[in-house]
Structure 1
């Protein structure tokens, strides 16, 4: 793994010494979970992997799909949280729903129980399809709540994108307009980043420059491609 350090001039990618995930031999390709804390740079890393040729499955995009108006998850959300979480066009008002659940852990768990199983089924379908098209595919499953939802047990390797707390807060303020208190509340709604990093197979530093980060991603992609 010394090549990673040389490529980035620092340890922006590190193999984790423990907690390795067994390869899932029932699939021909390699399925890699990509996660991190909120505003650590995970989406940027995902786009970089796509540029390298990886197949990207975006959990957030799937979550949007399964809650489209009239679908079973949408009906369950309306029944559970009421019509106040809907826009006039019957789509979910994500800001209103987020404000409700992120202040109440029990409500957040109820929402996750509605959405996660349906997203998991769609992810499994897309992964199987990618394997049929290319048995040597590197499939990156971009999922914010990988550990929280137990998805780490279903992937071959885990990549965690890290950033320090001040960077996360600054990005949430710039990107979402969150106050410091709101940003901290959103950060704390997820598993602590240090716990995710401790369970990762690979770490990517989401605070380094984009060119250096892309160099690190390309190096890691070559490593994963060799494992596929």
Structure 2
């Protein structure tokens, strides 16, 4: 069994992922895979450098994330080109890990943490989608506190994602993370029991 785990920025997805892993789930982290596919010497990194120029590489061959970010942040066409270079490799690696874990232990829950799951239209990859939810105003507060952002900066980050209420309507399982840690644990526990997980 597998689930896609998603949420909005600053909703507490990592906290929920850790709770699932503590109960015995295995985690596939899309952000981690996104870093792996552009490691020095990788074919994906070579294609990124071909498209965006050698300036996106640091002297040691690592991706210069800040420089690449400056290029794609204000240019939708460039951002789309980057996604077209990265996403097939990220999806293929995610799929390969999911299949490997499922083959190793079919009873074990495979949790795939994908921040922009709905935005990337990846619902088809998973048995169910679990959304970690907090209302937008709490998202804003947490994001400002966590990243030291102004209200305007935090708003801009939220605007770059699908609104949390839209995601909530699309999810199969909603974990409401606006209460205490214990409240969240209880929801995870009841999800675990309902699915009959070992």
TM-score, normalised via structure 1 length: 0.79
Q: How does 1:39-54 map to 2 (within 5 A)?
A: 39-54=10-25
In structure 1, the partner of 2:75 is 104
In structure 2, runs of 5+ residues without a counterpart are none
1:153 equivalenced with 2:124 (yes/no): yes
> Equivalent of 1:60, from 31, 48, 53?
31
Q: How does 1:1-228 map to 2 (within 5 A)?
A: 30-226=1-197
**2-structure distance, mates of 1:67, 1:56:** 20
The structure with higher relative contact order (CA 8 Å, sep 6+) is 1
Instruction: Work out whether residues 62 and 122 of structure 1, in 8 Å CA contact, stay in contact via their aligned partners in 2.
Output: yes
Counterparts in 2 of 1:93 and 1:151: CA distance versus 1, 3 Å: same
Counterparts in 2 of 1:170 and 1:136: CA distance versus 1, 3 Å: same
In the TM superposition, residue 178 of structure 1 has moved relative to its aligned partner by 2.9
Instruction: Work out whether residues 173 and 179 of structure 1, in 8 Å CA contact, stay in contact via their aligned partners in 2.
Output: yes
**1-structure distance, mates of 2:178, 2:96:** 33
Moved over 4 A (4+): none
TM-score, normalised via structure 2 length: 0.89
- The CA deviation string for residues 151-202 of structure 1, in whole angstroms up to 9 with x for no partner, is 1011110111112223222332333333322222221212222221111101
**2-structure distance, mates of 1:145, 1:222:** 27
In structure 2, the partner of 1:21 is none
- The CA deviation string for residues 38-62 of structure 1, in whole angstroms up to 9 with x for no partner, is 1111111111110111111100011
- The CA deviation string for residues 78-129 of structure 1, in whole angstroms up to 9 with x for no partner, is 2233344334433223344334434333333222211111111111111111
**CA RMSD after TM alignment:** 2.0
Instruction: Work out whether residues 138 and 225 of structure 1, in 8 Å CA contact, stay in contact via their aligned partners in 2.
Output: no
In the TM superposition, residue 31 of structure 1 has moved relative to its aligned partner by 1.4
* Paired residue total: 198
Instruction: Work out whether residues 135 and 164 of structure 2, in 8 Å CA contact, stay in contact via their aligned partners in 1.
Output: no
In structure 2, the partner of 1:5 is none
